[in-house]
Amino acid sequence: MSRTGGRLFPSWVPMAALVVVVVVALGVGASRRGPAPTPAQRADAIDALVRCPSCDGISVADSSASTAVAIRHAVAARVRAGQSDSQIDAFLVSRYGPSILLRPPVHGWTAWVWVLPPAALAVAVAGLVTVLWRRRTRARAPVSAEDRALVQEALAGRAGAVDRSSEAVRAP
Amino acid sequence: MTVTASDDAGPGAPTHRRHTARWVAGIALVACAALIALLATSPAQTVTEVDTPLVGQTAPALAGPTLSGGSFNLEAWRGRWVVVNFFASWCAPCQQEQPELVAFAYAHRSPADAALVGVVFDDSASTARDFMRSTGGTWPAVVDAGGQIALNYGVRGPPETFIVSPAGIVVAHFDGPMTNASLDYWLARAEEGQG
């Protein structure tokens, strides 16, 4: 076991351990596969991401409009027929246009919707780490003998004041 | 003597402010009246050509029983211009549009001329049949049970109208009530485009 400056580990070790834990947790979470969804679960998941064509901003899963019901039936039939999610999305887009999908497609200008938030987060984290690192490594101001004497004097004065007050309490 | 703000502004200031307020109120009133008049006299709803993915594509299947008890299949109407109109009896713009469609159907009653077919959108067959009878609609109207025809045409709400070419291609899609004149105009444009 190594001690550095009176500490058990160097100061960067806890931060590195935190990064390792986060990376491992994200990796495990991303690679973990649950049981395959049933056709009904797949259809529900697709419905939740399809905009109701005759409503304002809600999915077909949340709407009882006739157009939403028709789309839900069509999605269920296509799932049963073995079509992939992207094939079903493509069919709906071929009828209503890209606006039928609540999740923007990852190409063209809409790709920025997906790219910018994680990029902004990465930049923010990098900036925060840099600022903290600089603060930590910034050279401390040299402490002169006068400063030390001043602090000693203040501490001695504070100790004396404490002693006097405790005596005053005991006096009666 | 203490000089107050009102003294400083002079004795005519309050009267002047009242006049200004009256002018502002008058102008606001006239603007409101003009806006109300504009809204009241403008058409209730106007038709707009919709740029949908179907335009330029083969018309989706349109087949099924009709309100009159027969059957309809768009495939069998190849070689003619076909106007496909999605409607419902409960839809006010459809009620507004219906006399125009009656006039269009009458003007194009020749067997070789453009045909009109309706598709019932989110309405019961009996109500839609009564609507067609009471308004003089004699063209075939297909019952779309389950709304799958409307879905295949990407219909969001009635009335929506499509023009299908003799080759079975969707050449135009409109949202809102059509008129006899606008249908003729767009059909002529489509025929020019095909020629």
A67/B152 CB distance under 8 A: no
Q: Which residues pair with B142 in a beta bridge?
A: B66, B119
CA atoms lying within 13 Å on the CB side of residue A146: 0
- Compute the nearest-CA separation of A57 from chain B (Å): 13
Q: What is the mean pLDDT of residues B1-14?
A: 49
Digitized pLDDT (tens) for each residue of chain A, 172 residues in all: 445 556 677 777 888 889 899 999 888 877 777 778 899 999 999 999 999 999 988 999 999 999 999 999 999 999 999 999 999 999 999 999 998 999 866 777 777 877 889 999 999 999 999 998 888 777 667 788 898 999 999 999 888 776 666 666 665 5
Residue A91 sits at the chain B interface (C-beta within 8 Å) = no
Out of 3.60.15.10, 3.40.50.2020, 3.30.420.10, 3.40.30.10, the CATH code matching B48-194 is 3.40.30.10
Residues of B with CB under 8 A from a CB of A: 52-54, 57, 60, 121-122, 146-148, 150-157
Residue A153 DSSP label: H
- In chain A, residues 51-80 whose CB comes closer than 8 Å to chain B: 53-54, 66-67, 69-71, 73-74
**3 state SS of B123:** coil
Distance of alpha carbon A16 from alpha carbon B101, whole angstroms: 74
User: Which of B176, B1, B164, B166 is CA-nearest to residue B92?
Assistant: B176
- Which of A70, A94, A97 lies closest to B150 in CB terms? A70
Please report which helix (H) or strand (E) contains residue B24, including its range.
helix B13-41
Contacts of B148 in chain A (CB under 8 A): 70, 73-74
**3 state SS of B110:** coil
Q: Residue B147's closest chain A neighbor by CA? A: A70
- Structure token pair of residue A34: 């649950």
A96/B147 CB distance under 8 A: no
Distance of alpha carbon B118 from alpha carbon B161, whole angstroms: 9
Per residue in B71-112, pLDDT (tens digit) is 999 999 999 999 999 999 999 999 999 999 999 999 999 988
Please report which helix (H) or strand (E) contains residue A4, including its range.
none
CB-based contacts of B193, cutoff 8 Å, min separation 6:
B171
A66/B122 CB distance under 8 A: yes
Cβ B22 vs Cβ B131: under 8 Å: no
Q: How many CB pairs under 8 A join A and B?
A: 47
Contacts of B146 in chain A (CB under 8 A): 70, 73
Distance of alpha carbon B47 from alpha carbon B185, whole angstroms: 13
Strand order in the sheet with B170-175: B48-49, B170-175, B160-164, B82-87, B115-120, B141-143
CA angle A106, A109, A114 (to 5 degrees): 45
